Structure 1
């Protein structure tokens, strides 16, 4: 067993029932309509001790008054009740009320009457568990003392039995829930309650020690009361030599020491063991000693089972990296509970792949551990926190604790990573309210909401709606249609020209993917490209785009300048393929196009790949004369150091910066990017140019090339050829 699995904490803030021999007072209810009887009874029993305590009387003078007191007061040990009061059977009706309506089976009842003719039948005494019945003339001080002593002794025994039963129930509950984070805690509380109830000891005197296999030394595992500072202390360092000796003897000899100060031994598997020291300051009788041996034998078996199940639970239901329940544990909880008024949230860390790849996996693991720690610390025990996948966490709890506001607050502050760094994270989440559905369906619906949120509300939360299931089905249908479109050649390339700004010459074109359905309708790229990337179909589509664009470039020879370049967008999924470079060069050779006539546009997300592998790929590509442009620059995650080390050829300034006026803040960013590119000896091209003023401002800032509606919209092959001819003729 791992070192962190051999710990049982036999201590909690739950109070163990008091020992009845040390009870200060026994509460007694006197019910009689004669005040003289109250006074005589109290005088007869005053200053007498019963089972180590004195009596505290509460007085009622009628059945109705007694019922009111019983409803409002703490439990009584004994009730002395007159049979005949305001009615001939008032006392018996009160007894029936106590047993049947209040369901109080612990209270001991002594009946008495001054009118023997109204004595209860034997069946009534048996059915209502009446301790004693006496006429008032029989109740001398001696008999009254004897009757009260028997009643209090019976009450104390019943309460002890109830305490023992409670402890056993807790042990059974713990055995049923060993896999939950609270399972070990509940098992420990039940064990402690049972032991204290069995021996009637103060828990301040309880110390437990554990021994690990091989060379590990015994140590104090848990301590109570005045020994609480000793937790974690090696056994050989205990200040109390007598206690230390007794525990060492139990652990070495693997047996109980019941003579004098107690040391109990509980053996486990693989050399694991527990020892408990009790200083109860009294001798145990033979029955108590036998009970202890049986108790420890049962607890040793429970301890072995606990160790076994903890191992199984850890493997099957716990995430070992962050120490949280895993997907199996969450699904089990959802299947078992199926409660109303609760919410399941799936939380996905945004851009975690970037963190994991740009930095390293160890840092990524530290980030996951920091997130897991915060989720656990800032949610109550009533909320289950789980890790379902790499950067996917789950929360399951009440709507008050699992909602968009709470999730946003969890990520509002930076996370302290293990190496001392501070990191801000955002998360996208999908939520679903429980409505009696099975666990698997809840997970599926929360997942559908999460996917929708990642598409539309990245960094925010979205509740599941039935329409999202339909949207998921629509995406599946669209994927099938896209596969057919690729195989049946319904995909097309459109081309938008690159213009050299200082003389308005055409120096190249970007190819743009278009999908026309059989009915002539176009499906927007931002709709189908994410589906293609998520499904893996983008690899095949990307190869088709590359081959089609290069064949078009070869066909344009003689109609454009030799240095006219065709730019092809390469997705991160394509570029990450190990065979990408080999396939690219093969297609280039098949098309008969020299490398300098091709430009690859990569988004900044490509930079999240392993840097050395990325650099090696780029060097292979550039060795063939192919230029590399970074697309949408300024919207992603690239740093200046990355740009310096990758030796790119061109920066493509995103349209969001170009669309502002020359005097606006966004255009100031354009000037900064161009100045930085100039410093790094990179060429620049701006997209989204729509006005002459934008063009002039870009030219004045030093930007070389541009594209946009000012010059031409994306065009089909035929329209592009016509456009070129019109320019030449003009």
Structure 2
């Protein structure tokens, strides 16, 4: 097809006896040249003309293709080809031009240089072809003498080297920018360091071959320098100690660089980075010969700037750990655990568990918080030993841990195994138990916070049912919890909107039938005729802390009602007001009570606070101190619902109170055939023994009234006498009573 020209010593030779796959033998990376021509003579002549030549200090290696199709296969597999010597006309008239178009557009290789050669001058418009396809040179084969071929190839290789240097520089900058914008990712430090290696190699115009190691300090837990990033043939050394580096000269050069805290250029290039978060970082670059004075100056400026970059990366890593890891145990914290649950919770074979240490507060209170911290660390270590790396562990609260992993690993039995043996802390033997909750994930995407909330619901249920056991979350538990949250939200809104009210149930002296007072009762009407029972919303108010402002409102409203009745002439009228145990425990309760009494201008002796029997479960001395403060104000104290709790006779004798209130459940027993066999007679006898007044609630029948009176109960309230009523109706009811 194309005729190779006959040339003298300076021209391309038509035939040679050398083998066609000849390439120089050298350890220096050669420039790879692809010859594409459908005539074997042109291949042989080109190889002979360029034999033993070097360009920019590097030899030439040749690849050969006899069609555009063969060339595509070679270029697709070998991205390191520097120059293509390309015939225009081969299997088709524009096969060469189509190959160039494919290289630039489909292969997306802008760096390889193309020298077009044609045996048919003028076939393709030279300017248009060169402009459109980024071609270095376009010559007829007759023009390409040995010197001209060498000249065109040298220009093309220099262009290729410049383009590759720009690409390396851009890639290094891209890695650094990527690390800068993704500092919170786990590999941010490694990405940044790899970018530094690539960038500095581009500055020195060498291949990206090198590594960076850091000496221990700050976030590094290793005791010796560790390789934190590597490129090229050193990539396999990442995360290994520097002492394990096989190349002794490289290892010693880095060690000296870190020891002397300065750059070294005697064994390759060793750069020192003064990074405050470490005891120093050092980079090794595989460079033959020493860099020039200008290169050294550039490297010093580069290292100074990059040291700041390293510090920023490490600072962000430290902030990441502070934000997502528990400093005490080293485990992920609640925020990180939620992220991990969302990442891995889509696996239907996974389970989530919450584990809460029982009575841990007593350990910290009895001993000290430092000892408590050591106990928590010991528990974390025991969890790691028991569950291993197959389960994600986290500390999600003060004494609560989260577990996420395969269902067959996270089981109640395995959780109990954690505490089957006592812990050793400061030579002390500590035996702990834990209440846990488990959720088996269904494979559906879910918010980690919602799953943790569901596990918390099951955990609270487990604490109520019995500590030291595991409780699985169920949909019924979830619905009940959501209903409680709905009620609590509505209660807050109703309290803010002043939609709660008080009703008053009269209290009667049994012997005379005289009205002696009333009990103030809180009511919540969500719509006309529809009420929420107090036993549903009062416990929620106690758990949420709403009971404190709500209790003060009840106290003030009841005192205002008492003031109105006093103004109407009922001077000896007594107002009984319920006080929640949670409200009573508040440190400022007594001072609040004193303010309310002063503001309402009622006589303190006319106020009686009803406390539940659960106050006896606290420390008696502390309770009596607060009761004494209340009694000094002149306020009386009654124990409500007596007999339903756990008070003993000795505890009752220690509590300085004025009245016992018999629960309605015991009053209801008095309608039976054997009234003396119930609890009410025992409570009345106990009250007499302790010189306390007795009042019964829930009296609904005349039989009950007569029984209570015969047993010695002095007072009562219930539907037999009057139902609870608003203050206005109570005033009318009082006015209608016989004088």
TM category, shorter: 0.5 to 0.7
Q: 1:109 to 1:202 in 2, by over 3 A?
A: closer
In the alignment, does 2:537 pair up with 1:528?
yes
Alpha-carbon contact 2:34-2:81 (below 8 Å) kept: yes
Q: Helix, strand or coil: the match of 1:169?
A: helix
Match of 1:301 in 2: 308
Which 10-residue stretch deviates more, 67-76 or 127-136?
67-76
Cα distance in 2 for partners of 1:482, 1:404 equals 46
TM-score (norm 1): 0.55
CA distances 1:157-209 after superposition (whole Å, capped 9, x unpaired) = 43343233222222223333445544333322322333345443785675555
In the alignment, does 2:695 pair up with 1:719?
no
TM-score (norm 2): 0.54
More relative contact order, 1 or 2 (CA 8 Å, 6+ apart): 1
Match of 1:289 in 2: 296
CA distances 1:528-585 after superposition (whole Å, capped 9, x unpaired) = 244312331334677999999xxxxxxxxxxxxxxxxxxx9975x4575346799999
Q: 1:66 to 1:90 in 2, by over 3 A?
A: same
Alpha-carbon contact 1:628-1:648 (below 8 Å) kept: no
Give structure 1 stretches of 5+ with no counterpart.
Answer: 1-20, 213-217, 396-401, 495-510, 549-567, 607-612, 634-642, 651-684, 692-698, 706-714
Cα distance in 1 for partners of 2:165, 2:624 equals 81
Q: 1:481 to 1:599 in 2, by over 3 A?
A: closer
Alpha-carbon contact 1:27-1:78 (below 8 Å) kept: yes
Match of 1:460 in 2: 473
Match of 2:195 in 1: 190
Which 10-residue stretch deviates more, 294-303 or 513-522?
513-522
In the alignment, does 2:82 pair up with 1:82?
no
Q: How does 1:294-333 map to 2 (within 5 A)?
A: 294-306=301-313, 320-321=327-328
**What's the offset of the Cα at 1:95?**
1.2
Cα distance in 2 for partners of 1:358, 1:210 equals 36
Which 10-residue stretch deviates more, 157-166 or 144-153?
144-153
**What's the offset of the Cα at 1:316?**
7.2
In the alignment, does 2:489 pair up with 1:476?
yes
Q: 1:171 to 1:576 in 2, by over 3 A?
A: farther
**What's the offset of the Cα at 1:130?**
1.6
Q: Helix, strand or coil: the match of 2:699?
A: helix
Q: 1:158 to 1:61 in 2, by over 3 A?
A: same
Match of 2:656 in 1: none
**What's the offset of the Cα at 1:113?**
1.0
For residue 121 of structure 2, the aligned residue among 94, 116, 120 is 116
Give structure 2 stretches of 5+ with no counterpart.
Answer: 1-25, 463-470, 508-518, 558-577, 598-603, 629-636, 654-662, 670-676, 684-695, 712-739
Match of 1:497 in 2: none
Cα distance in 2 for partners of 1:291, 1:72 equals 36
In the alignment, does 2:273 pair up with 1:266?
yes
Q: 1:354 to 1:462 in 2, by over 3 A?
A: farther
Cα distance in 2 for partners of 1:271, 1:524 equals 63
State the number of aligned residues: 561
Cα distance in 2 for partners of 1:423, 1:151 equals 76
Match of 1:55 in 2: 61
Alpha-carbon contact 1:449-1:462 (below 8 Å) kept: no
Cα distance in 1 for partners of 2:89, 2:552 equals 101
Q: CA RMSD in A?
A: 6.8
**What's the offset of the Cα at 1:371?**
11
Structure number with greater Rg is 2
CA distances 1:254-293 after superposition (whole Å, capped 9, x unpaired) = x544466654343456997545466745222344323312
Cα distance in 2 for partners of 1:410, 1:65 equals 65
Q: How does 1:574-653 map to 2 (within 5 A)?
A: 574=583, 577-578=586-587, 600-601=613-614, 614=619, 617=622
In the alignment, does 2:96 pair up with 1:91?
yes
Cα distance in 2 for partners of 1:262, 1:323 equals 37
Match of 1:174 in 2: 179
Q: Helix, strand or coil: the match of 1:116?
A: coil
